[in-house]
């Protein structure tokens, strides 16, 4: 039984929400952590367990507004772990906000390097809070 | 911008513990960014001055006439306002430079001379008079801001006007705030002539913003947070890209910069010309690291964009090879985003460390 892994996001690290029972897997926010190895270690370990006995259909979502170059490597390491799942049973869903070309391009590049199916999906802008 | 301009800047600001400057259109985001940055970089010994400095910064900001509505960074022009805050020794300086019509110079000069020659009692009296004066001009204040600045700092407001043409001049003003607890005998104040020189250099290089200070992990953290906060409104690719690499470069300085007395001193500049951003940085680096870094930059400078892409993708999967002469993901990424080479220079200063300057167009 694999317990869910939840790490709250901050201005420097993304929100991690990995839940096997709910079949929900998402990493969202920004990742500019100083020590990406340390931050992603528990995520990596969780996923290592998960891929040994994955669900029937895994949709793994990334919604990364921004990540620094050392985080890019960590993201790739997670995706490479997912490659251990039979490829017809796993999809990487790469989400980006409308008009965010940089996040889109980064997703397309990672797709090229990966062996998995990718869905690269744009979602509409959230309404910005107006300053009063 | 050239590596030479970074050198010159670093030398002019050599004694500054903090120096932040902004030139362009002003908005509230810039104001909160500047006050946060300075607050977070003020040394422990000056902690008690924090609120006063924020107050004076806001007061000085509001003195600068042109306020923009948008959060988008606009390219600075010859008419742009300039704002700078710096700390040298026991003193803080808040500086503004903005255009003024020549016809208004006499009125402003008169107000400033009045507050500069009044004692405490006269200032309080003046404050009351101005507050109750029914003939406030539409600009408001009638010098209330000036009176407040002098009352808060217990000092004079140095100022100057530099004529540009028959219609307009640049109005320079400086607020000096000295910490009496740390002040040493004979410590002299930085003058306004230095500001005029810096202003000229900033204009020449189309500089939008610069920051000189401590780049240790602890000090860079708040700067990065602030940049991140401001990034949420950056839907423009060029802007997001510029900030992306600024973050990378700052993290690099905080990791690899040479530490002198617990500080990693550094400087970064952002310039903008014809819609293109340029980032420049300067910091100390241990001599033992110079050869490898040089090799790495040369390596990425000599690769075509296709080869850079291939290398980036290879490292993404395989990780960086342990040979320290080969560039990491960050540097490869930087090289493929710039159309030109990464410009750099190392100047050996002694047997321990060198000065490393870098400029890159994005």
> Which residues lie closer than 8 Å to A77 by C-beta, 6 or more apart?
A40, A44
- In this prediction, residue B162 carries a pLDDT of 92
Min Cα–Cα distance to chain A from B345, Å:
24
- Residue % of chain B over a pLDDT of 70: 85
Domain A5-119 belongs in CATH node 3.30.750? yes
Q: What are the tens digits of pLDDT across the range A63-89?
A: 998 888 888 989 999 999 999 999 999
Q: Residue A7 is inside which H or E element, if any?
A: strand A5-7
Tokens of residue B49, six digits? 């001055």
pLDDT-based confidence at residue B231 (cuts at 50, 70, 90)? low
Identify which of B30-34, B105-109, B127-131 has the greatest average pLDDT: B105-109
Contact B316 A68 (CB under 8 A): no
Which residue shows structure tokens 């270690």?
A: A41
Averaged confidence pLDDT in chain A:
90
Instruction: For residue A70, give the nearest of B217, B233, B329 by CB distance.
Output: B329
What b-and-e string marks burial along B194-227, b requiring 16 or more CB atoms within 10 Å of the CB? bbeebbeebbebbbbbbbbbbbbeebbbebbbbb
> To 5 degrees, how large is the angle CA A115–CA A116–CA A118?
130
pLDDT above 80: residue B326 = no
Identify which of B20-34, B126-140, B340-354 has the greatest average pLDDT: B340-354
Tokens of residue B309, six digits? 């892409």
Q: Contacts of residue A66 in chain B, CB cutoff 8 Å?
A: 228, 231, 240, 244
Contact B313 A113 (CB under 8 A): yes
Best interface-test mutation with A: which of B224, B300, B316 has the largest number of A CBs within 10 A? B316
Q: Residue B249 is inside which H or E element, if any?
A: helix B237-256
- In this prediction, residue B173 carries a pLDDT of 92
- Half-sphere CA count of B23, side-chain side, radius 13 A: 27
pLDDT above 60: residue B323 = no
Q: What is the DSSP pairing of strand B16-24 with strand B207-214?
A: antiparallel
pLDDT above 90: residue B325 = no
Min Cα–Cα distance to chain A from B93, Å:
30
Min Cα–Cα distance to chain A from B317, Å:
6
Averaged confidence pLDDT in chain B:
82
Identify which of A78-92, B5-19, B163-177, B241-255 has the greatest average pLDDT: A78-92
Chain A, window 32-91: residues with a beta carbon less than 8 angstroms from a chain B beta carbon: 32, 34, 66, 68-70, 72-73, 76, 80
pLDDT above 90: residue B181 = no
Q: Contacts of residue A11 in chain B, CB cutoff 8 Å?
A: 225, 228-229
Which residue shows structure tokens 């808060």?
A: B152
> To 5 degrees, how large is the angle CA A69–CA A73–CA A77?
160
Q: Contacts of residue B247 in chain A, CB cutoff 8 Å?
A: 32, 68
Q: Calculate the alpha carbon distances from B7 to A61, B10, B157, B332, B346 in Å.
A: 46, 5, 30, 25, 10
Higher pLDDT, B297 or B148: B297
Chain A, window 87-126: residues with a beta carbon less than 8 angstroms from a chain B beta carbon: 99-102, 109-110, 112-113
- Say what the alpha-carbon torsion angle B78, B344, B288, A69 is, to the nearest 10 degrees: 90
Q: Where are the domains of chain A?
A: 5-119
- In this prediction, residue B43 carries a pLDDT of 79
Q: Are B81 and B26 in contact (CB under 8 A)?
A: yes
Best interface-test mutation with A: which of B317, B333, B334 has the largest number of A CBs within 10 A? B317
Q: Is B36 helix (H, G, I), strand (E, B) or coil?
A: helix
d(CA B99, CA B91): 26
Min Cα–Cα distance to chain A from B288, Å:
23
Picking from A119-128, B38-47, B131-140, B287-296, which range would have the lowest pLDDT averaged per residue?
Answer: B131-140
| Angular region, A48: left φ>0, alpha ψ -120 to 50, beta rest | alpha
Q: Contacts of residue A72 in chain B, CB cutoff 8 Å?
A: 316, 329
């Amino acid at each position: 039984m694999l317990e869910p892994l939840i790490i709250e996001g901050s201005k420097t690290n993304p929100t991690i929400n990995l839940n096997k029972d709910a079949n929900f897997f998402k990493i969202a926010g920004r990742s500019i952590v100083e020590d990406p190895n340390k931050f992603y270690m528990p995520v990596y370990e969780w996923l290592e367990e998960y891929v040994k006995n994955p669900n029937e259909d895994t949709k793994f979502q990334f919604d990364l507004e921004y990540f620094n170059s050392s985080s890019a490597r960590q993201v790739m390491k997670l995706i490479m772990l997912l490659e251990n799942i039979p490829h017809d049973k796993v999809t990487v869903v790469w989400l980006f906000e409308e008009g965010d070309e940089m996040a889109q391009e980064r997703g397309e590049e990672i797709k090229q390097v990966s062996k998995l199916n990718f869905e690269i999906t744009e979602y509409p802008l959230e309404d910005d809070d107006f300053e009063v | 911008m050239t590596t030479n301009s970074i050198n010159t800047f670093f030398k002019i600001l050599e004694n500054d513990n903090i120096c932040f400057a902004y030139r362009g259109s002003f908005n509230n985001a810039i104001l909160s960014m500047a006050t946060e940055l300075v607050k977070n970089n003020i040394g422990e010994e000056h902690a008690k001055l924090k609120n006063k400095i924020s107050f004076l910064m806001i007061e000085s900001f509001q003195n600068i006439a042109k306020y923009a509505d948008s959060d988008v960074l606009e390219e600075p022009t010859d008419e742009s306002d300039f704002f700078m805050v710096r700390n040298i020794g026991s003193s803080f300086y808040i500086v503004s430079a903005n255009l003024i019509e020549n016809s208004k110079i006499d009125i402003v000069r008169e107000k400033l001379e009045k507050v500069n020659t009044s004692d405490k009692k006269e200032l309080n009296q003046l404050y009351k008079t101005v507050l109750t004066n029914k003939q406030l001009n539409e600009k408001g204040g009638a010098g209330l801001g000036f009176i407040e600045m002098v009352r808060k700092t217990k000092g004079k407001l140095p100022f100057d006007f530099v004529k540009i043409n028959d219609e307009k001049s640049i109005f320079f003003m400086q607020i000096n705030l000295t910490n009496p607890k740390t002040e040493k005998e004979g410590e002299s104040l930085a003058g306004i002539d230095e500001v005029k020189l810096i202003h000229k250099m900033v204009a020449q290089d189309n500089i939008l913003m610069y920051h000189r200070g401590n780049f240790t992990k602890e000090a860079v953290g708040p700067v990065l947070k602030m940049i991140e906060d401001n990034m949420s409104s950056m839907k423009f690719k060029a802007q997001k890209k510029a900030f992306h690499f600024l973050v990378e470069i700052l993290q690099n300085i905080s990791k690899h910069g040479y530490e002198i007395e617990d500080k990693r001193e550094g400087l970064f500049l952002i310039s903008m010309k014809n819609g293109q951003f340029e980032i420049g940085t300067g910091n100390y680096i241990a001599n033992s690291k110079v050869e490898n870094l040089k090799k790495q930059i040369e390596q990425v400078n000599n690769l075509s964009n296709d080869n850079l892409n291939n290398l980036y993708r290879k490292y993404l999967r395989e990780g960086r090879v342990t040979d320290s002469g080969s560039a990491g993901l960050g540097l490869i990424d930087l090289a493929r985003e710039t159309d030109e080479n990464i410009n750099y220079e190392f100047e050996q200063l002694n047997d321990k460390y060198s000065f490393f300057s870098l400029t890159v167009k994005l």
